[in-house]
A = this chain, B = another copy of it.
Amino acid sequence: MILLKNIFYLVRDSLRIEKNIDLLIDGNRIKQIGRINSKNPQNNIEVLDCKNKAVIPGLINAHTHLWQSMLKGRRDDLSLVPWCEQVIYPFIQVLREQVKYTRASEIGYLWSMLGAIEMIRAGITSFVDMDSGYFAERVPQAWLDIGIRGVFSVEMVDKWVPDNIRIDPKHEKENILKLIDAWHKYSRGEPLIKVAMSASAPFTCSEELLSWILEQSNKYNLAIQIHVSETKWEVEQCLRNIGKTPLKYLESIGFLYRPIMAVHCVHLTDEEIKIAKKHSVSVIYNPKSNMKLGSGIAPITKMLKEGVNVALASDGTASNDLMDLFEEMRVGAMLQKVAHEDPAVFSAQEIFSIATEGGAKACQIDAGKIDEGKLADITIINLSSPHIFTLSDDIIPALVYCAKGDDVETVIINGNIIMQNKQIMTIDEQMIVKEIEKISKKLKNDLK
């Protein structure tokens, strides 16, 4: 059992804040919240002192591409399509070449671990990974080793990808089924890993592929994630080729039969927002990525007004380039304010809720709030840094606008202390970083 003692601010959710209280974790769940005596002799209780700390639900990063962990800081002047052509595809090509030199699955394991370390250090306890079809075999193994909760999916695509990096469709499907088989079977007894299906986008997947994805999703009871209406260009393509906007098209082919996660939705029409609500689509908001690629500003305020569930995400680190949801929260809120030229249009509480409860709902994880019985996914923030000093008791705005990933001191996932006092407890971070540096030297040369 773990006892969080003398919590200065306990943020149960965006609206319920308590002060000077204790929290007891038993197994992987929150057992009790209140004034709790730590001197109970029959139990082996680990006590964490939470004076001058804020204890919040672990943040949920509802969309990333961990295989981009090694692509930070490359180009910032390209919109989605040329960015794919000039940043993403060349890297995939280099990866394919690497197979000759390296144990392929080792690269996947290392980029996965690099991303997991970054997220834990920033207080993220759960995430959805849309990985590449390359080297994905051991990607979730890294999450098990470090102890983070992840939804594992591999992005499928059969249109619009150049021949030199395309996996042939038959082989791609076999590969996915093999991965599902390996990890979905495994995950039944393992609360940290979930498997999901993922499709690149309506304009990059054939209707046949989308149907196949939906079929597997039904068969194995898996969530689905898909990029939708990220750019105007894509919406225009869809209208020209199919005569429908992307989400409307997905509805028309029955793809919204299950409650999918629709990533971006920057250019959703009012009609599509209603469609999203009707089919319980969760919209994944990636404000910084949408800004950096110049994609546009998603109509999140409208979506919330319509009752659509919204989650927050960093997107892959080639288009952000950080997985720090504190920064993502404030930028996401500020972006709505400036888009409407009205600061009242979006509150710190709303974005906090999106980054916690919204993500939990989208990913179907029993976390995102701090309540008795909920999963013990908890982030502890040190409030003593000068940049976070506040005279306000309104701790949510202070956290949203002032906290940085580096203020996260301790992270508990599934009832386990994964990071304590900024030290990751479950893996040898130094050794991992050294291995990453070794492998990256070769990759770096090939990328030149």
Contacts and interface: CB of A to CB of B under 8 A. Distances in A.
Interface of A: 69-79, 83, 114, 117-118, 121-122, 232, 288, 290-297, 320-324, 327, 330-331, 333-335, 337-338, 340-345, 347-348, 384, 386-395, 397-402, 404-406, 429, 433, 436, 440, 443-444, 447
B324 A387 contact: yes
Contact of A343 (B292, B406, B436): B292
A274 B79 CA distance: 30
Contacts of A327: 327
B76 A348 contact: yes
A388 B436 CA distance: 13
Given A341-B232, A398-B72, A391 B292 contact: no
Contacts of A323: 387
Q: Is the interface of A mostly helix, strand, loop or mixed?
A: helix
Closest 3 pairs (CB-CB, A-B): A73-B398, A291-B334, A294-B343
A443 to B, nearest CB: 6
Contacts of A343: 76-79, 83, 292-294
Given A72-B390, A333-B76, A402 B322 contact: yes
A321 B327 CA distance: 11
A445 to B, nearest CB: 10
A73 B392 contact: yes
B322 A114 contact: no
Contact of A294 (B72, B342, B406): B342
Nearest to A443: B391
Contact of A344 (B78, B118, B122, B333): B78
17 contacts: A73-B394, A73-B397, A74-B392, A118-B387, A291-B331, A294-B337, A294-B338, A296-B341, A297-B338, A320-B401, A322-B401, A322-B404, A331-B331, A389-B436, A393-B444, A404-B404, A406-B406
B72 A392 contact: yes
B72 A295 contact: no
A352 B262 CA distance: 34
A342 B81 CA distance: 12
Nearest to A71: B391
A416 to B, nearest CB: 20
Contact of A340 (B294, B331, B436): B294
A115 B392 CA distance: 17
A76 B118 contact: no
Contacts of A77: 343-344, 347
B324 A404 contact: yes
Contact of A70 (B75, B391, B443): B391
Contacts of A322: 387, 401-402, 404
Given A72-B398, A73-B392, 19 more contacts: A72-B391, A73-B395, A73-B401, A74-B390, A74-B391, A76-B333, A76-B348, A77-B343, A79-B343, A114-B386, A118-B387, A121-B386, A122-B387, A291-B334, A291-B338, A293-B343, A384-B433, A389-B433, A406-B406
Contact of A444 (B72, B290, B293, B391): B391
